[in-house]
Structure 1
């Protein structure tokens, strides 16, 4: 089989396609024929060397969709469609940048769908991150106001749809004025062009502040996002589009306003149930939720795909397919 492997951190050209023997599943693992996988900013950061716990060489990739080839326990039948979700994938062990993968059964979710592999490949981590952030971390409630910082990202666009469908009033931000209409089309009630400091503008719109905030940009905008919240409000930091992991000289009582709560969501640590994922797929099939724009690359164009992700020109998810759909 062919895999995309990185031997040392650096530029996108460090991603190399090579042949490897077909792996054998053992000890609670399953052999999956990978049909498609989405690209994620965390993989870009790992490629650059910003993930010190990841050892090279490594096959990156924290998500994929495909079909079961062999499950020694026979709990999953051959041909069953499955999605793989993080849980050390592409970091502690080889991930989805491959034609086949052996994954722990604990990170696999079986599902049924008539959607194409190129669409399905965009969904696993996008769904889990959005659902987990909004429902598990923020515990969103109908009628609340929600600020989405970094709204033109794939996560931001789906979060806008899901929150709007649930009955929230959504303010979404982008640095690119050309993406304003896309955010409005996805259900945002208002769009702000983000210059890094928006809390005064938010208070002009909602004098008391917003109920909830989803932070997708990172620690450089998080202090300002916290200032956008009303007393008793809650922010969830989920994304790091700015590629910054941590604060320098973090002083909680200076950064976090009184009575405001700050939480996080990590899809590798807290898993959303299979039933919710299947319902999400049905919403896409029934067009209750609209599939956002996604760009598809063939497996052999991994270098170009990483360069495209790094350029920040993508609108929505980038998906790699291992064969023609």
Structure 2
């Protein structure tokens, strides 16, 4: 098979298209002929040597794919409602940057009606992450307010649409007026340009001093102390990345007085059972919304797999709005 390999840790140009033996699907797995592969921030971290591959996972980067089932465990497929030839998208622990990929049956979802392979490949990583963290870990409810740090990212555009579909009020931060406008167009109620305004003061103004119920944070570091100030009583903050650093100081007195919860998680090392449960929730509660057009994939750019290095340059530039996807043409 063809695969994008990390030839050594470093800049984007360490990514090279090469050849590997095709994987073999084992018990409870399917083999997918990949048409498109999503590009995500963890892929960049893996390329630079800052995101170790979980035990047993492929060293090939890539956490999400879309394509056609061409083999695998027939019994497991049948039990999960899949068959040979089905178009699926899947969350994987690695190996997504290849034209053939193995995925656990439990982490596969049918491609929503009307979506292309590119659109489908943009779904698993962000939708699994947002559902798990915003709706399960942080327990966002209809009528509550959510603040998303980095609203124009792949995670951000997913979180905006999901939160709005579930009846929440959505505030976002973004780094330019253009990105703020894009977030508003996707349904965000308020967008704050963090380069021209203090998001803490803006959140207090927008919420009349009450604060938000939930914060989705991909920055951490110095943001944590400011986010504690933004939370309402019984507020919940969930940290899913540490782009601003792993250490933070904050006012613990505010945490006590407002009964705050600060939590976090990372998806890649979680168990098959955990990810399967998320897939089932998405199939039941979210995929119908996508099929109905109420939630739409946001694709910024596509690149041929051989141009994966260019895709990573774009990812690191932070100039994109939505998802970046690699395509595998015959």
Tell me how far 1:117 sits from its aligned partner. 0.4
The 3-state SS of whatever aligns with 1:282 is: helix
Contact 2:228 2:250 in 1 (8 A): no
Distance 1:53 1:320 in 2: 21
The equivalent residue for 2:194 is: 194
Distance 1:202 1:235 in 2: 14
Tell me how far 1:22 sits from its aligned partner. 2.5
The equivalent residue for 1:218 is: 220
* Aligned counterparts, 1:1-325, within 5 A: 1-52=1-52, 58-76=59-77, 77-86=83-92, 89-90=93-94, 95-111=95-111, 113-195=113-195, 197-206=198-207, 207-240=209-242, 242=243, 244=245, 246-247=246-247, 253=252, 256=255, 258=257, 259-268=259-268, 269=270, 270-271=274-275, 272-274=278-280, 276-277=282-283, 279-323=285-329
What is the CA deviation profile of residues 22-46 of structure 1, one whole-angstrom value per residue up to 9, with x for unaligned ones? 2322344332211211111011011
Tell me how far 1:301 sits from its aligned partner. 1.2
The TM-score normalised by the length of structure 1 is 0.87
Contact 1:7 1:57 in 2 (8 A): no
Tell me how far 1:185 sits from its aligned partner. 1.0
Distance 1:128 1:54 in 2: 18
Tell me how far 1:123 sits from its aligned partner. 0.9
**How many equivalent pairs are there?**
315
Unpaired stretches in structure 1, ≥5 consecutive residues: none
Q: Give the stretch that moved more between structures: 230-239 or 309-318.
A: 230-239
What is the CA deviation profile of residues 130-186 of structure 1, one whole-angstrom value per residue up to 9, with x for unaligned ones? 222221022112211221111111211221122122222221111212212111111
What is the CA deviation profile of residues 264-316 of structure 1, one whole-angstrom value per residue up to 9, with x for unaligned ones? 24333243133523653332332212332431111121111111111111111
Contact 1:227 1:257 in 2 (8 A): no
Tell me how far 1:13 sits from its aligned partner. 0.9
Stretches of 4+ moved more than 6 A in 1?
54-57
The 3-state SS of whatever aligns with 1:31 is: strand
The 3-state SS of whatever aligns with 1:233 is: strand
235 and 297 in structure 1: CA distance in 2 versus 1, 3 angstrom threshold: same
Q: Give the stretch that moved more between structures: 201-210 or 35-44.
A: 201-210
Contact 1:129 1:265 in 2 (8 A): no
**Of Structure 1 and Structure 2, which has the larger fraction of its residues in helix?**
2
Distance 2:126 2:105 in 1: 20
RMSD: 2.6
Distance 1:112 1:315 in 2: 22
Contact 1:148 1:170 in 2 (8 A): yes
Distance 1:238 1:309 in 2: 17
Distance 1:59 1:243 in 2: 26
Unpaired stretches in structure 2, ≥5 consecutive residues: 78-82
Contact 1:215 1:235 in 2 (8 A): yes
The 3-state SS of whatever aligns with 1:164 is: helix
Distance 1:107 1:191 in 2: 33
Distance 2:103 2:297 in 1: 27
54 and 138 in structure 1: CA distance in 2 versus 1, 3 angstrom threshold: closer
